[in-house]
Amino acid sequence: MFSVIFTIFSLVQYFKYQSPMISYTKGNDKSTNREILLKDTFLMFQLIDSTSVNRIDDSIAYFESSYTTIYDNGKVEEGPLKIEKCELGKNIDLKFKEFIIGKSNFGRPVEDFYCFSPNNENLSLFYYPDVGYHMINLLIVLKNNTYYIPEKIQSLIVSQNCLIDHNNKSNPLSNSYEYHTSPSFSSSQSINVNYNFQFIKYDSDDGFYFTDLKNFFGITFSDMTFSNSYKDDYDIEKNIKEKNRAYIGVIQFSLNRSNYDNYKRTYQRLQSLLAEIMSVISLLFEIGRQISTFFCEKSMSKDIIETLINRDKKHILRVQSYRINKLCKTSENNITTSIERKNTKYESFDMINNKLENSERIDKTKLDISKNDITYKNEKIKQIRIIINI
């Protein structure tokens, strides 16, 4: 009964896929290329007032974008990137619809943010070991400093942040996002912000009997660092007067090149599960056998002891009966012998007594005779004396 219940329970739990085996490592090998296409990435940004956190209008400050590819052989490629107002279904993939609509997006509509144009869908953030890496530059341009100084300007960045659900068999990487604000910019120096993503590689082996490997890729926020860049020609007022604009800082998006998150999910093979079930069943049967053996041995020992005791009792009774019979016969013989002996003794005693009596009688007779003789003699003497006296 326990074996059947355990088997059914194990199979039900197995087909629920709620007990995967997970291994996690920080990988940094040469064989894994880390790459995320821009069209598959959720990334929005806008400029805000550092005091009120309100959006800054484009007439005051705005973004310009470019990309840079740096190869390990020293070659560098650069080019412009087009940015535009965010729009769901246009430059934001519909797969992000659920959490975009359900979230407040920092208390403002999606249309207030900027996104990369879908014309750049073939571009990607990548890092190929021994080849090079790619990054996106987001330049902050100040047009008129009459109302704002750089110290009152910050960047609000809303980026993709994959959540990991190991129990989700179809897609363990679910979409989500988080937002970060850059430090305020400066009037005296340019601010460089490095916004790094962590690449996620998730391998899932869903095979029942054999390997059935599926690969999932995603990114999450890794870290954000910033540094000051001192330039001799960094003069905001001069640049605005001469060029009607001034670059006050840059935000660089790139993948973490130090390592990546490597997850491996495997499910127990069916044959392994059956072997485990059979081992548990064998264990249950062994336990039952030991318990049964224990009680059977106890019962058998009891029966044997009772049989031995009963046999011993019968033997003892037979021996005792034999001894009693023997003793009885011996006693009877002894009694008979003793009686005979006593009778013999009695007879001898009678003979002796008779002899004694006879002897006594003889003696008495003799005595009587002797006494009679004496008496006779005395009488004779008396008679003679009488005669004489006469």
Q: Which residues contact 42 (CB under 8 A, 6 or more apart)?
A: 92, 93, 96, 158, 159, 160, 175, 177
Condensed to tens digits (0 to 9), the pLDDT of residues 47-99 reads 999 888 889 988 899 999 999 999 999 899 999 999 999 988 888 888 888 77
Q: Are 112 and 55 in contact (CB under 8 A)?
A: yes
Residue 159 CA: distances (Å) to CA of 112, 181, 192, 230, 355: 15, 11, 18, 29, 152
**Residue 275: pLDDT over 90:** no
**Residue 1: pLDDT over 60:** yes
More confident residue, 232 or 117: 117
Distance CA 260, CA 222 (A): 10
Mean pLDDT of 239-263: 90
Q: What is the pTM of this model?
A: 0.68
**Residue 102: pLDDT over 70:** no
Residue recorded with tokens 């004694």: 356
**Residue 344: pLDDT over 60:** no
**Closest to 138 (Cα-Cα) out of 57, 178, 192:** 192
Distance CA 288, CA 109 (A): 68
Condensed to tens digits (0 to 9), the pLDDT of residues 157-181 reads 999 899 999 888 888 998 888 889 9
Q: Are 186 and 226 in contact (CB under 8 A)?
A: no
Q: What type of residue is 98?
A: E
pLDDT for the residue 4: 85
CA atoms within 13 A on the CB side of 271: 4
- Mean pLDDT in the chain? 80
Share of the chain above pLDDT 90, in %: 29
pLDDT for the residue 365: 56
More confident residue, 344 or 285: 285
